[in-house]
Amino acid sequence: MQISLARLSTHPKNDLLSGLTVALALVPEAVAFAFIAGVDPLVGLYGAFFMGLITAIFGGRPGMISGATGAMAVVMVHLIQQGNLVGNQLANPLPQLGMYWLFIALLFVGLIQMSAGLLRLGKFVRLIPHPVMMGFVNGLAIVIFLSQLNLFKQTIDGQAVWLQGSDLWIMLALVGLTMAIMFVLPRITTKIPAALTAIIGVALVTHFSGIDVGTVGSFIRDGGGKGLQGGLPQFQSHIFSLFSTLDGHWGLLLSTAVLLAAVGLIESLMTLNLIDEITETRGSGNRECLAQGAANILNGLFGGMGGCAMIGQSIINVNAGGRGRLSGIVAASALLCFVLFGASVIEQIPIAALVGVMFMVVIGTFAWSSFRILHKIPRKDAFILITVSTITVVADLAIAVVTGVIIAALVFAWENATMIRARKTMRPDGTKVYEIWGPLFFGSVQNFNAKFDVKNDPDNVVIDFIESRVTDHSGIEALENLIEKYLKRKKNIRLTHLSPECKNLLLKANPKMASAIEVSIDDPRYYVVTDLVDREI
């Protein structure tokens, strides 16, 4: 796949500055998620680098930022812990075996995600209902907000405790200053990114005032890390020799890989949809699946923790003017440069400045309009919105989205099941006509069958489907059984205005039905979702 320089960016300055801003915001997130997963902070930073670079160059959504994420970190924890337990029990103990198991799992994650792209499954994200999308956005905004609250803690005697007294007030003041700069600056000028200006401004204030505040460096050390300084990612060739340690644990590894792949794709494709709406452009879900899969494979091979799209950093990037692929490339490259050359400088950035940036992201991400429209939209949509938001916060993003889609699908099926109608008329020659209105599918079969009085109907019956549509196998079966009932009573039954495919499926089920199916020049054209096979009755 070739990417020309012109396609990387139409506004290089905006992409360059927004990419630097995002890189700064990625550091504490990658480190925090590495701590959640139970791996070294450098593993999280390497993971963010590979995810950000590969998806920026080859992904399906220019301007979208990928990196190490909390949703995937939570899924990794059990696999890593189990691996470490096994590693400590080996004849030659390997305390970090869980981390290497993660690298192996990421190889499978990448293969699954690339398969989804090759099978063109990314397009199905566009079937997600709008209430689910709003619930996802609101829930994720709340999750981002709650994750920032952990940065209001300090470690004392190995215990994380909330900031108190002057430390708390200084933290709040710096967070407020950051948010104020980001709020006011865009009203003065849009030529420089507000987030980057706020981070640099607050860093300068703390440096020259000598205020003792929590920094990126202290955050890493409090969490048990040694700092940002590191070398280039190393090829993890030895993980292939560790496959034998997975005997009896392949089920855990593969199930974790499937869940990681699903969580990553759902979060990325939902974020892609959101950025599409913000930028009024359209990305490619299938390309994103391929790029994300390739990035996770590289993470497994070179010692990163993997990841997916990050809604918070993507919002920062887009709001700062980063709309091209160059912004993501700059963010990923800058992140690696921080590790290689700029650790001492980046470690001095106040955590409060980054918290303030993320709080502004929360404000910009949350769909505040949902409060205004909640009592105006159908109750079912309000229920779905609230349910998805709640599950996203208390459980898991993937579970929330899948639950929302299932609820929406069931509600849709129920509503359509009750829509089917039969208008009954008698012709002068004594023929009874049933004019069907509404879809005939698995949910409406029972109501459809209740419309007919086979025993008391006259000898000639016509069922007209001009205002109806048979949509699935269950509908075909219902028609087949209904025809059989009329034929057993020696009554003439004719079906009119069925689609050609529907007729063919009925004839495959029972060739004797040919006399009951009428062909008209104005027959509708539609396809039936069915797995019906040839059989004889």
**Residue-wise pLDDT tens digits, 211-221:** 889 898 888 88
pLDDT of residue 236: 95
**Full DSSP string of 227-267:** -S--------GGGGGGGGGGTTTHHHHHHHHHHHHHHHHHH
Q: Is the pLDDT of residue 18 over 70?
A: yes
Confidence bin at 536 (pLDDT 50/70/90): very low
Determine the Cα angle at 57 with ends 54 and 59, to 5°. Answer: 75
Q: Is the pLDDT of residue 116 over 90?
A: yes
> β-pairing, 66-67 with 308-309?
antiparallel
Q: Are 408 and 383 in contact (CB under 8 A)?
A: no
Q: What is the overall mean pLDDT for the chain? A: 89
Confidence at residue 535, expressed as pLDDT on a 0 to 100 scale:
42
Local confidence band at 401 (pLDDT 50, 70, 90 cut-offs): confident
Taking the C-alpha atoms of residue 174 and residue 199, their distance in angstroms, rounded to an integer, is 10
Residue-wise pLDDT tens digits, 431-484: 999 999 999 999 999 999 999 999 999 999 999 998 988 888 898 899 989 989
Question: Which residues, 6+ apart, have CB-to-CB distance to 287 below 8 Å?
Answer: 58, 59, 60, 117, 122
- Checking if the pLDDT of 499 tops 90, the result is no
What pLDDT, on a 0 to 100 scale, did the predictor assign at position 491? 92
Tell me, what's the pLDDT at 317? 93
Among 274-283, 346-355, 524-533, the least confident range: 524-533
Measured CA to CA, the distance from residue 519 to residue 503 in angstroms comes to: 9
Q: How does residue 47 score in pLDDT terms, banded at 50, 70 and 90?
A: very high
Query: Which residue did the predictor score with more confidence, 527 or 470?
Result: 470
Q: Measured between alpha carbons, how far is 80 from 83 in angstroms, rounded to an integer?
A: 5
User: How high is the pLDDT of residue 402?
Assistant: 87
Residue-wise pLDDT tens digits, 154-207: 877 778 889 999 999 999 999 999 999 999 998 998 778 888 899 999 999 999
Q: What is the spatial distance between Cα 72 and Cα 407, in angstroms, rounded to a whole number?
A: 24
β-pair type (421-426, 308-309) = unpaired
Mean per-residue pLDDT, 64-80:
90
Please name which of 177, 228, 170 lies closest in space to residue 201, comparing C-alpha atoms. 177
pLDDT at 522 over 80: no
Give me the percent of the chain exceeding a pLDDT of 90.
53
Any idea which of 12-21, 46-55, 142-151, 450-459 has the lowest mean pLDDT?
Answer: 142-151
Residue 43 has pLDDT above 50, yes or no: yes
Domains in the chain, start-ordered, CATH in brackets? 11-406 (no CATH), 418-516 (3.30.750.24)
Q: What is the mean pLDDT of residues 334-354?
A: 91
What is the rounded CA–CA span in Å between residue 216 and residue 348? 6
Q: What is the DSSP string of 344-369?
A: HHHTTSBHHHHHHHHHHHHHHHS-TH
Q: Phi/psi of residue 215, each to 5°?
A: -120, 175
Q: How far is CA 329 from the centre of its chain?
A: 22
Confidence of residue 530 (pLDDT cuts 50, 70, 90): low
Other CB atoms within 10 Å distance of the CB of residue 531: 6
Q: What is the pLDDT of residue 219?
A: 85
380: number of CA atoms within 13 Å, CB side? 14
Residues ≥6 apart with Cβ < 8 Å to 494: 461, 462, 463, 516, 517, 518
Over residues 140-149, mean pLDDT: 86
Reported as a pLDDT band with limits 50, 70 and 90, residue 534 is very low
- Predicted confidence at residue 532, as pLDDT, reads 47
CB 30 within 8 A of CB 44: yes
Is residue 4 predicted with pLDDT exceeding 60? no
- Using 50, 70 and 90 to split pLDDT, how confident is the model at 485? very high
Label the pairing between strands 432-440 and 421-426: antiparallel
What are the tens digits of pLDDT across the range 227-267?
788 889 999 999 999 999 999 999 999 999 998 998 899 88
**0.85 exceeded by pTM:** no
